[in-house]
Structure 1
Amino acid sequence: MCRLLGVVSRDPISLDSAVAEEIEPFTAQSEVHSDGWGVAWFEAADGPSSPDGTGITGAAGGADGSGAAGAIGDTAAGAAGGAGPVPLSNPRRPQIRRRLDVARESAAYREAVSSAMGPLMLIHLRKASPGSALRIDNTHPFREGETVFAHNGQFDLPEGFREAVLARGGRTPEGTTDSELYFSLIELHARDTDAATAVQRAAAEITALSLEYGTRVPEALNCLYMTPELLIAYQQSDPAQARPHHTADNYSLRYRIDADRVIVASTGIPQTGYLEVGEGQVLVVHRNDLSVSVRPRLVELVA
């Protein structure tokens, strides 16, 4: 399991200011969710650019976590070369910083949450699925063009499953996680429908494929999906697959609507006044006016 936190603010503001009360208890969870972290944000269209317009990758070292100095560069452009800062030419392009160290102990993490500036921002703390490699290209959030995706949960990858997803023609994964296959299907469905429906259809398709190629439904498909205009949160989990160390609300996603922000987060932080995202529901937060809507569970079948 992982931890998710997303926020949409009325005005551009630094991430650590936007979630000033939540950031420390959220970050403290990296003691358990210690397999890397990622921060992503969209700045205001007319706002200042970030200090360097870059993504930071690697652990204590290079892009694969093995070197002695962190690589700096645009993560989508392939930071492994460590060629230095690469300015982002498209203001609608999400900015991402990822690293393989423990957020709670990371100076780079602190710098990322203070320099992230925008009305749309998210953080992911990773606890890798069993057998999933600790590599920077497996570290959330993932980016494709103008969208960002972060997943909390897991599903089996039996023989034939990955090939079946990739044959559909969605986004090509950079790493080896189940999460990127989920993202691939979201991006595929987003070509023909709105973002919220695309997330629900992708989740339904992952569930169907899990039963076609395997023996059980996904443990969880909780996610945050971010575009330049929207923050979308989806919740789906199977309580029967809860592990001994899980709490009863391990896969709950909750949100709170304030005057100047909307926040959505996994459990593990104080959540007074929060509402629950129901099973199969999609929460949609609009950047332009902070309006919030909840889509009911999808009943249509995925072809």
Structure 2
Amino acid sequence: MCRLLGVVSAGPISIADAVGSDVLRDFVALTKIHGDGWGLAGVDGLGDRPHVRVSANSAVDDGDFVSATHDVRSTASVLHLRWATSGLAVEPQNSHPFLADGIAMAHNGSIKPMGPLSEFLESDSLAALRGTTDSERYFAIIRQHRRTAPNLAEAVRRAVAELRGRYPEASLNALLLGEDQLIVVHAHARSRLPDEDLAEIGATDLPVEHLEDYFSLRMARLGDVVAIGSTGFGDLPWEPLPQESVIAFSLRDASQTHLPLDPP
């Protein structure tokens, strides 16, 4: 599981300047639970491929995290705090966002059991895996669909539909950067946190949203900036995102494309 923060702007801007230092501080406070690594993907301008910085360290008191969120200016960014699924190593190659084929992706959820995920993957996709997470395999399935889909958003929709058949209760929430778009997957209708995770959150001083609505994503419009965020942080004018959908935000003209998903 994780916390996600995405930003789309009319011009290059840091995460800190886009959402404000207080909101970023609220986000970092979530490392009380989500302290198993962090990562930032960014796109400098139109036509550019994403660049990614990841770490297996907690974002708290990490100088690299401070530099990444305050000094790196991008037209679109995806920031991720990791809460490692039990049994998966805390190491850089398991930190999100993942980067391949000109696309970056961060996932919020746990796809279990993980073994059958490999059945969806072709041999070249399996050989390209760097880490051991379900999330990286989900990303590889999206990239397989991109080979035949007319655009990235449709590739994402097809991958989600394929996985839904085998994993109807998994959260497939994700943020992707690539092809001059920020793409949001809001797909968690039947997802629930395990009892042990609920107990860990309940024993920690975190906002009650983490218990009531952990998997939801929402949007805030801040002048010429659009922010996408997980629940549980930030005093922003949040609006709900369409349920069970793939939403593509264009970096070219700020337009949105909404692809509904079939119910799980």
TM-score (norm 1): 0.76
- Which is higher, the Rg of structure 1 or of structure 2? 1
Q: Secondary structure at the match of 2:158?
A: helix
For 1:261, which of 187, 208, 225 is the aligned residue? Answer: 225
The aligned residue for residue 70 of structure 1 is none
Q: Secondary structure at the match of 1:131?
A: coil
Q: Secondary structure at the match of 2:212?
A: coil
Matched, 1:12 2:12: yes
Alignment of 1:65-80 (within 5 A): none
Matched, 1:252 2:252: no
* Letter of the structure 2 residue corresponding to residue 4 of structure 1: L
Q: Distance in 2 between matches of 1:167 and 1:226?
A: 23
Q: Distance in 2 between matches of 1:182 and 1:38?
A: 17
The aligned residue for residue 121 of structure 2 is 166
Q: Is the contact between residue 16 and residue 114 of structure 1 (CA under 8 Å) also seen in structure 2?
A: yes
C-alpha displacement of 1:167: 2.8
Matched, 1:128 2:84: yes
Q: Distance in 2 between matches of 1:202 and 1:240?
A: 18
Q: Is the contact between residue 200 and residue 280 of structure 1 (CA under 8 Å) also seen in structure 2?
A: no
Size of the aligned set, in residue pairs, is 248
Q: Secondary structure at the match of 1:176?
A: coil
Matched, 1:243 2:194: yes
Q: Structure 1: where are the runs of 5+ without partners?
A: 46-90, 211-216
Q: Distance in 1 between matches of 2:52 and 2:171?
A: 24
Q: Is the contact between residue 253 and residue 266 of structure 1 (CA under 8 Å) also seen in structure 2?
A: yes
TM-score (norm 2): 0.86
The aligned residue for residue 164 of structure 2 is 207
Identity, in percent, stands at 32
For 1:179, which of 116, 122, 135 is the aligned residue? Answer: 135
Judging changes above 3 Å, is the alpha-carbon distance between structure 1 residues 125 and 9 closer, same or farther for their aligned structure 2 residues? same
Per-residue CA deviation, residues 249-299 of structure 1 (Å, 9 max, x unaligned), is 100000123331111010111354322223321121111122223322248
Q: Is the contact between residue 16 and residue 69 of structure 2 (CA under 8 Å) also seen in structure 1?
A: yes
Q: Is the contact between residue 253 and residue 265 of structure 1 (CA under 8 Å) also seen in structure 2?
A: yes
Judging changes above 3 Å, is the alpha-carbon distance between structure 1 residues 259 and 105 closer, same or farther for their aligned structure 2 residues? same
C-alpha displacement of 1:107: 1.1
Q: Is the contact between residue 37 and residue 54 of structure 2 (CA under 8 Å) also seen in structure 1?
A: yes
Per-residue CA deviation, residues 134-157 of structure 1 (Å, 9 max, x unaligned), is 111111000013110000001113
Q: Distance in 2 between matches of 1:219 and 1:162?
A: 12
